């Protein structure tokens, strides 16, 4: 038995072509009991991986391949790698904090570097693997500097007592065997455990070229450039337990320790439960009003103001009031029972701040316009009763899901609103959210064509043959033989016969499309979402790490 503890997925962005669903499926098919994903300085894939692994009956292990300061060297020296695996909830919080500090306080040469003093403070609940030749210990061993290797190993073993392993790898790189021999000797001398890992970058042996193309896209390189530094080998695919057992038959303890580490890692994530920040209600006689009471009071006060505007005639207003009051009462009770008064008050607060401070705000879009409470709290500016809009389309007690207001702010003033929210709830609790750019069909053709060094006009011509139908997903993939009748994908080869003919007749077109198909849909870059803002009940790092560009 063997457990893979080092895998870069597509979320490593600069390398790695493993798609989470496929890598989990491969582990389950090989009956591997657990699996770790350890992307480069991030936890972007954590939730998706956690769900997929549990669904497949594979124990999910969460970790990250990080850059750390080298023991004994000055702060500005080149960093080394270290693999951190999460044992428990405390470890998850510590890894989140370490990654956040690295990205927000110590980016050196585009690398988010973790300082040694941070590791001293935040190592609880984490298991550390030495990162083979990429780590401080391994680099020293390969260079023949036994004294420095000893110093680094002792330092890291001291930071992670009984939680530090010397990592062994055999991926057919020139210095693999030299490193394994030296690391095993050092481990015996210091009585440190060794563990076998495989630096998995892609799923199958045949995916090597696609992975190299992905690396070239990230680095702006040409695939055929003879001078290009080739950091990966064909062997860095997802190997079976049997293959790994054969690779490390001479170091059985290194195989056994993969299972031991998997047993020591037991993180449970609580997903699907709304975590709403606490809205600061006013104080009465030194005691804060209960949020449900303040929500009801604010809603009825807001309704009075709206009715006075809608019906200046008092007699008509009194005639209409019961219908509005009944609807408001129903909505208030529904919202309170579902636990969302705080959400409405928070949204109302920053919208009204914007309106009062010269930031134009839209009248409301989508199903949120069906809420009378939203109208009373000035979240929206449409009377739902006048237009017979249904509240249940927005919030249905029989289908509990988070409410979702579509809010339009003037783009020139949006940053002011975000700054207000940060000031109110604390900078540690507010962040804009990440967004991932993926390689769509046309972009994949252009990117792959560039790294293959094909002429721009040739690649542009092929990409323009890909149908571009608004609202429809287009793919380069071949149509499946047993195609589902509900399959709404537009298959480029079906939709454009000229493309199919050119692939059949021209070798360059065939090469381009075959490689682009393997990369299509992969995460290409990381950006900041234009409008999504996250407000947490406390520090955001109690939930996830922060990333900075």
State the pLDDT at residue 149: 96
User: Do residues 88 and 185 both lie within one domain?
Assistant: yes
Is 432 contained in some domain?
no
Placement of tokens 């390969």 in the chain: 142
State the pLDDT at residue 531: 82
Is 397 contained in some domain?
yes
CATH of the domain at 455: 1.10.10.1600
State the pLDDT at residue 482: 82
User: Do residues 236 and 355 both lie within one domain?
Assistant: no
Residue 371 to residue 390: CA distance in whole angstroms: 7
Residue 501 to residue 322: CA distance in whole angstroms: 70
- Number of domains the chain is built from: 3
Residue 450 to residue 447: CA distance in whole angstroms: 5
Output the pTM of the full model.
0.93
User: Do residues 249 and 289 both lie within one domain?
Assistant: no
3-state helix, strand, coil in the chain (%, to 5): 45, 15, 35
Residue 116 to residue 110: CA distance in whole angstroms: 19
Is 167 contained in some domain?
yes
State the pLDDT at residue 272: 87
User: Do residues 255 and 287 both lie within one domain?
Assistant: no
Q: Is 130 exposed, middle or buried (0-12, 13-18, 19+ CB in 10 A)?
A: buried
Is 540 contained in some domain?
no
Q: Mapping DSSP to helix (H, G, I), strand (E, B) and coil, where does residue 106 land?
A: coil
Residue 470 to residue 486: CA distance in whole angstroms: 19
User: Do residues 85 and 150 both lie within one domain?
Assistant: yes
User: Do residues 250 and 137 both lie within one domain?
Assistant: yes
Q: At what angle do helices 341-356 and 291-310 cross, to 10 degrees?
A: 50
Residue 404 to residue 407: CA distance in whole angstroms: 9
User: Do residues 51 and 196 both lie within one domain?
Assistant: yes
| Residue-level pLDDT, tens digit, the chain, 549 residues | 999 999 999 999 999 999 999 999 999 999 999 999 999 999 999 999 999 999 999 999 999 999 999 988 877 789 999 999 999 999 999 999 999 999 999 999 889 999 999 999 999 999 999 999 999 999 999 999 999 999 999 999 999 999 999 999 999 999 999 999 999 999 999 999 999 999 999 999 999 999 999 999 999 999 999 999 999 999 999 999 999 999 999 999 999 999 999 999 999 999 988 888 989 999 888 889 999 999 999 999 999 999 999 999 999 999 999 999 999 999 999 999 999 999 999 999 999 999 999 999 999 888 999 999 999 999 999 999 999 999 998 998 777 778 888 899 988 888 999 999 999 999 999 999 999 999 999 999 999 999 999 999 999 999 999 998 888 899 999 988 888 878 888 999 998 999 999 999 999 999 999 999 999 999 999 999 988 899 999 999 999 999 998
DSSP 8-state secondary structure symbol assigned to residue 132: G
Placement of tokens 């499926």 in the chain: 25
Q: Is 60 exposed, middle or buried (0-12, 13-18, 19+ CB in 10 A)?
A: buried
Q: Which residues pair with 490 in a beta bridge?
A: 474
Last residue of a domain, one of 264, 296, 326: 264
User: Do residues 132 and 169 both lie within one domain?
Assistant: yes
Q: Is 177 exposed, middle or buried (0-12, 13-18, 19+ CB in 10 A)?
A: exposed
The encoded tokens of residue 390 equal 């249904």
The encoded tokens of residue 105 equal 């306080």
Is 275 contained in some domain?
no
Is 538 contained in some domain?
no
Give the DSSP letter string of 379-433.
S--S-TTTTT--GGGT-BTTB------B--B-TTTHHHHHHHHHHHH-GGGEEEE
Give the DSSP letter string of 512-533.
HHHHHHHHTT-EEEEEEEEEEE
User: Do residues 24 and 137 both lie within one domain?
Assistant: yes
CATH of the domain at 49: 3.20.20.140
Q: Give me the domain span that covers residue 24.
A: 10-264
State the pLDDT at residue 156: 97
User: Do residues 399 and 451 both lie within one domain?
Assistant: no
Is 478 contained in some domain?
yes
Which among 439, 440, 434 has a CA at the least distance from the CA of 524? 439
State the pLDDT at residue 28: 98
State the pLDDT at residue 397: 78
User: Do residues 258 and 341 both lie within one domain?
Assistant: no
Is 529 contained in some domain?
no
User: Do residues 175 and 297 both lie within one domain?
Assistant: no
State the pLDDT at residue 274: 84
């Amino acid at each position: 038995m063997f457990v893979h503890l080092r895998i870069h997925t597509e979320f490593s962005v600069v390398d790695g072509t493993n798609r989470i669903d496929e890598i989990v499926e491969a582990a389950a098919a090989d009956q591997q009991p657990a699996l770790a994903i350890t992307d480069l300085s991030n936890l972007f894939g954590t939730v998706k991986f956690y769900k997929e692994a549990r669904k497949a009956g594979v124990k999910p292990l969460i970790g990250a391949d990080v850059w750390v300061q080298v023991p004994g060297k000055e702060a500005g020296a080149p960093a080394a790698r270290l693999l951190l695996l999460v044992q428990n909830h405390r470890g998850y919080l510590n890894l989140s904090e370490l990654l956040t500090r690295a990205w927000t306080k110590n980016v050196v040469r585009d690398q988010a570097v973790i300082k040694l003093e941070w590791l001293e403070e935040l190592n609880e609940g984490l298991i550390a693997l030495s990162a083979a030749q990429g780590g401080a210990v391994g680099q020293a061993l390969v260079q023949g500097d036994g004294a420095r290797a000893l110093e680094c190993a002792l330092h890291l073993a001291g930071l992670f007592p009984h939680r530090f392993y010397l990592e062994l790898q055999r991926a057919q790189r020139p210095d693999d065997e030299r490193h394994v021999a030296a690391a095993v000797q050092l481990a015996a001398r210091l009585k440190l455990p060794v563990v076998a890992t495989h630096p998995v970058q892609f799923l199958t042996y045949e995916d090597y070229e696609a992975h190299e193309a992905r690396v070239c896209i990230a680095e702006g390189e040409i695939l055929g450039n003879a001078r290009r530094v080739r950091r990966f080998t064909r062997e860095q695919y997802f190997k079976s337990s049997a293959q790994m057992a054969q690779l490390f038959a001479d170091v059985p303890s290194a195989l056994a320790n993969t299972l031991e580490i998997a047993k020591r890692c037991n993180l449970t994530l609580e997903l699907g439960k709304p975590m709403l920040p606490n809205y600061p209600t006013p104080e009465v006689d030194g005691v804060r009003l209960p949020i449900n009471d303040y929500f009801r009071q604010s809603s009825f006060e807001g309704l009075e103001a709206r009715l006075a505007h809608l019906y200046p005639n008092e007699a008509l207003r009194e005639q209409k009031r019961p219908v509005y009051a009944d609807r408001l009462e129903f909505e208030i009770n529904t919202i309170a029972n579902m636990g969302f008064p705080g959400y409405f008050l928070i949204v109302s607060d920053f919208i009204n701040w914007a309106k009062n401070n010269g930031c134009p705000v839209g009248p409301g879009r989508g199903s949120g316009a069906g809420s009378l409470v939203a109208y009373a709290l000035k979240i929206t500016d449409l009377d739902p009763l006048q237009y017979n809009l249904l509240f249940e389309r927005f919030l249905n007690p029989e289908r509990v899901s988070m409410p979702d207001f579509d809010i339009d702010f003037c783009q020139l003033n949006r940053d002011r609103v975000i700054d207000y929210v940060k000031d109110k709830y604390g900078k540690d609790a507010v962040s804009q959210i990440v967004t991932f750019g993926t390689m769509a069909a046309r972009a994949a053709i252009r990117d792959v064509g560039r790294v293959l060094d094909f002429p721009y006009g040739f690649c542009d011509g092929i990409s323009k043959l890909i149908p571009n139908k608004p609202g429809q997903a287009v793919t380069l993939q071949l149509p499946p033989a047993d195609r589902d009748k509900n399959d709404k994908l537009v298959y480029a080869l079906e939709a454009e016969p000229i493309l199919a003919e050119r692939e059949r007749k021209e070798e360059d077109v065939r090469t381009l499309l075959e490689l682009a198909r393997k990369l299509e849909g992969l995460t290409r870059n990381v950006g900041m979402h234009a409008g999504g803002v996250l407000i947490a009940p406390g520090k955001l790092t109690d939930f996830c790490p922060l990333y900075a560009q």
